């Protein structure tokens, strides 16, 4: 099993750039690999922040609420084992 490097729950791009990338993806315009990676990373960070918020409140409904608000409503396929990887990848 490989060890993953721990990261902070901070988005690497601005909110404005994030929204631009989302609209680009929704309109099915061509995106570069770098843009795709930035968008996927920022969505994953938002998802993990959402989960952390629900865990802090000790609320068990966090997983489906966060999954639908971040990925499903935006019609983006979520990464595999997203919720379990949050604990491994980010410092909490």
Measured over the CA atoms of residue 73, residue 76, residue 80 and residue 81, the dihedral's sign is negative
Residue 59's pLDDT is what?
80
Separation of alpha carbons 88 and 91, rounded Å: 8
Q: Residue 70 in contact with residue 35, Cβ under 8 Å?
A: no
Place of tokens 């988005």: 11
pLDDT tens string 53-62: 887 878 878 8
Separation of alpha carbons 65 and 83, rounded Å: 12
Per-residue pLDDT of the chain (92 residues; tens, 9 = 90+): 556 667 777 778 999 999 999 999 989 899 999 999 999 999 999 998 888 888 787 887 888 888 899 988 888 888 888 888 887 777 65
State the pTM of this model.
0.82
In the structure, how many helices (H) and strands (E) does the chain have?
4, 0
Residue 15's pLDDT is what?
92
């Amino acid at each position: 099993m490989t060890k993953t490097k721990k990261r902070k729950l901070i988005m690497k791009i601005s909110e404005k750039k994030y929204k631009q990338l989302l609209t680009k993806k929704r309109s099915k315009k061509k995106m570069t690999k770098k843009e795709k990676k930035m968008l996927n990373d920022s969505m994953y960070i938002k998802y993990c922040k959402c989960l952390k918020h629900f865990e802090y409140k000790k609320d068990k409904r966090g997983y489906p609420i966060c999954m639908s608000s971040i990925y499903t409503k935006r019609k983006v396929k979520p990464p595999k084992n997203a919720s379990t990887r949050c604990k491994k990848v980010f410092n909490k």
